[in-house]
Chain A
């Protein structure tokens, strides 16, 4: 939904991921960008250049935090030190909501640094929802969980991925970061209809949408974030916007990163599918915006 309790009743438009190769351009040219998404872990350090750049960005732009290592689906207790440091960063950024993935990636204190898919079981729903609630309570900001792309399915699964997603966010009472590229990638790898997925997602819980590029290989499709968004993904995006309204949207581009202008222009194509957006339009400058407070 455009503004709902899962994105703290904000009404953000189209943003891009803040990436190191663009730091200089952003700080020197000050381009008009509706918002930036940062990878929390890159700024969970004691000090130095990254935090200095972040502070300068925060002076001029709206920033939302996105994490890659909370592993909501892990079967073991949360890492308290991780949570404490994440909260410290949320105080710095004032992120209105915070997202991480519906996946697991560590066990017995060892980290894979990957976003591993869960078996879609009732046990996994309970465990994941409990962890999301715990994080939400500790951080005191709304959480949105993102569907990941995957390359494997499991015998243990008792439902579809979209049923699992809906069950988890309902049980945790949290939001969804709907990644339509991940839906597409997984649909190619697992042979389901991606439109059925988009049509099934609880529309009132969508806090944010991710778009990205992927790579198709002979026998599988990889979520590579190194290309422009492909047509079938735009189709899913259009349908998602139709169902949930013009929701905060973010383009992820993480490898073979082109110039800032190219990435931004690709992101702004999303406006073609947004009712109030005119094609490729730049967002309003900061001072002309009306902020909606929670």
Chain B
């Protein structure tokens, strides 16, 4: 067996889904004996069989990954309850193994994955997806880069052909519910994940909180960082469309048009609105020079 063959084989066993009782599966998906396959490369010792020795790694793999994703979605956890949430996370991880050296990135696909898996959320799919999107936006806003914002001189020099950009930490969300009410209700105490020891002994359980039940209503949010704290800020539809067009790299003339698509505002009112949007975005340091 070459080193690469060895690593592929062991990685498959280490990441093999656990049984319902969180133990290593005895039979592989093809009906073969996992114990036999593991015994081919892992030595037993006086106290543990080859299977049991590898089971330590198999369980730790799942406990570590489940813990890491769970920490990033406390409100989704509180909303669905630990049993359904655990099942959701397990299924998510089985379909979305880590592809980044940084454990921080593990939950990135969860909101879009959840959208396609209503079986885990029951009747509350849209709200659950909104909550998940908001929780991931928090992670992004928390540690993505902040660039020097445009100042007044830069803004005064803008032309209809100018292309701007938004702060990398700024996240734009169009939600179907005021999901921030749910997220804010869940006590935020997100410790960083450190892995230095190679062990996770037990899964940590989270406690239940009483959650608000927001009504369905289109909600436009900016999630951004200001002086190292993350804020949720409601914006109107025009501001959302304008900021979205800036993010897409559109020149200002088009950005302004986009902000008022299907809007009944008179041209004079539009000019006033646009000024407001830009002053507001500039004050909060959201606008930066186009990095391209």
Q: Give residues in A with beta carbon < 8 Å to B.
A: 17, 19-21, 39, 41-42, 44-52, 66, 68-69, 74-76, 79, 82, 104, 106-116, 118-119, 121, 123-124, 127, 148-156, 189-191, 212, 215, 219-220, 222-226, 252, 254-255
Minimal beta-carbon separation of A115 from chain B (angstroms)? 4
Interface centre among B11, B42, B103 (most CB of A within 10 A): B11
B2 is an interface residue with CB less than 8 A from chain A: yes
> In the complex, what distance in Å separates the CA atom of A48 from the CA atom of B103?
17
The answer to whether A44 touches B102, judged by C-beta atoms less than 8 angstroms apart, is yes
> In the complex, what distance in Å separates the CA atom of A222 from the CA atom of B211?
38
User: Of all chain B residues, which has the CB nearest A48?
Assistant: B143
B199 is an interface residue with CB less than 8 A from chain A: yes
Question: A41-B102, A111-B101 are contacts. A152–B43 as well, Cβ < 8 Å?
Answer: yes
Question: A107-B7, A116-B10 are contacts. A190–B145 as well, Cβ < 8 Å?
Answer: no
A residues in contact with B146, CB < 8 Å: 46-48
Kindly identify which residue among A45, A220, A255 contacts B197, using a CB–CB cutoff of 8 Å.
A255
User: Of all chain B residues, which has the CB nearest A219?
Assistant: B47
CB within 8 Å of A: which B29-52 residues: 40-43, 45-48, 50, 52
Give the 8 A-B CB pairs with smallest separation, nearest first: A46-B145, A225-B197, A45-B143, A75-B4, A48-B143, A69-B101, A111-B98, A152-B53
B residues in contact with A156, CB < 8 Å: 1, 6, 41
A residues in contact with B57, CB < 8 Å: 114, 116, 151-152
The answer to whether A252 touches B197, judged by C-beta atoms less than 8 angstroms apart, is yes
The answer to whether B65 touches A50, judged by C-beta atoms less than 8 angstroms apart, is no
B residues in contact with A220, CB < 8 Å: 47-48, 53, 56
Minimal beta-carbon separation of A149 from chain B (angstroms)? 6
Minimal beta-carbon separation of A250 from chain B (angstroms)? 10
Interface size on B, residues (CB 8 A): 56
B133 is an interface residue with CB less than 8 A from chain A: no
User: Of all chain A residues, which has the CB nearest B103?
Assistant: A113
B15 is an interface residue with CB less than 8 A from chain A: yes
B residues in contact with A155, CB < 8 Å: 40-43
Kindly identify which residue among A48, A114, A223 contacts B144, using a CB–CB cutoff of 8 Å.
A48
Question: A75-B7, A223-B199 are contacts. A153–B145 as well, Cβ < 8 Å?
Answer: no
User: Of all chain A residues, which has the CB nearest B227?
Assistant: A52
The answer to whether A113 touches B65, judged by C-beta atoms less than 8 angstroms apart, is yes
The answer to whether B101 touches A48, judged by C-beta atoms less than 8 angstroms apart, is no
**Given A110-B99, A123-B3, 6 other A-B residues pairs in contact with their CB atoms under 8 A:** A42-B194, A48-B144, A112-B61, A116-B57, A155-B40, A191-B46
Minimal beta-carbon separation of A24 from chain B (angstroms)? 13
The answer to whether B169 touches A47, judged by C-beta atoms less than 8 angstroms apart, is yes
Minimal beta-carbon separation of B159 from chain A (angstroms)? 29
Question: A107-B7, A189-B45 are contacts. A114–B60 as well, Cβ < 8 Å?
Answer: yes
The answer to whether B195 touches A46, judged by C-beta atoms less than 8 angstroms apart, is no
B residues in contact with A51, CB < 8 Å: 143
Question: A48-B142, A114-B61, A116-B57 are contacts. A154–B43 as well, Cβ < 8 Å?
Answer: yes
Kindly identify which residue among B40, B46, B142 contacts A49, using a CB–CB cutoff of 8 Å.
B142
The answer to whether B198 touches A115, judged by C-beta atoms less than 8 angstroms apart, is yes
User: Of all chain B residues, which has the CB nearest A128?
Assistant: B3
10 contacts across the A-B interface (CB closer than 8 A): A41-B104, A42-B194, A45-B104, A47-B143, A113-B64, A114-B198, A119-B41, A124-B3, A215-B201, A254-B195
> In the complex, what distance in Å separates the CA atom of A220 from the CA atom of B15?
21
B212 is an interface residue with CB less than 8 A from chain A: no
Kindly identify which residue among B42, B100, B199 contacts A222, using a CB–CB cutoff of 8 Å.
B199
The answer to whether A153 touches B43, judged by C-beta atoms less than 8 angstroms apart, is yes
B262 is an interface residue with CB less than 8 A from chain A: no
The answer to whether B100 touches A111, judged by C-beta atoms less than 8 angstroms apart, is yes
Contact mask for chain B residues 97-138; partner A; CB cutoff 8 A; 1 contact, 0 none? 111111110000000000000000000000000000000000
Minimal beta-carbon separation of B32 from chain A (angstroms)? 19
B residues in contact with A50, CB < 8 Å: 143, 192
The answer to whether A108 touches B8, judged by C-beta atoms less than 8 angstroms apart, is yes
The answer to whether B2 touches A151, judged by C-beta atoms less than 8 angstroms apart, is no
B residues in contact with A123, CB < 8 Å: 2-3
Question: A41-B101, A107-B11, A219-B47 are contacts. A52–B6 as well, Cβ < 8 Å?
Answer: no
> In the complex, what distance in Å separates the CA atom of A224 from the CA atom of B10?
22
The answer to whether A41 touches B103, judged by C-beta atoms less than 8 angstroms apart, is yes
> In the complex, what distance in Å separates the CA atom of A42 from the CA atom of B193?
8
User: Of all chain B residues, which has the CB nearest A157?
Assistant: B43
The answer to whether A48 touches B48, judged by C-beta atoms less than 8 angstroms apart, is no
Minimal beta-carbon separation of A44 from chain B (angstroms)? 6
Minimal beta-carbon separation of B9 from chain A (angstroms)? 9
> In the complex, what distance in Å separates the CA atom of A212 from the CA atom of B198?
12
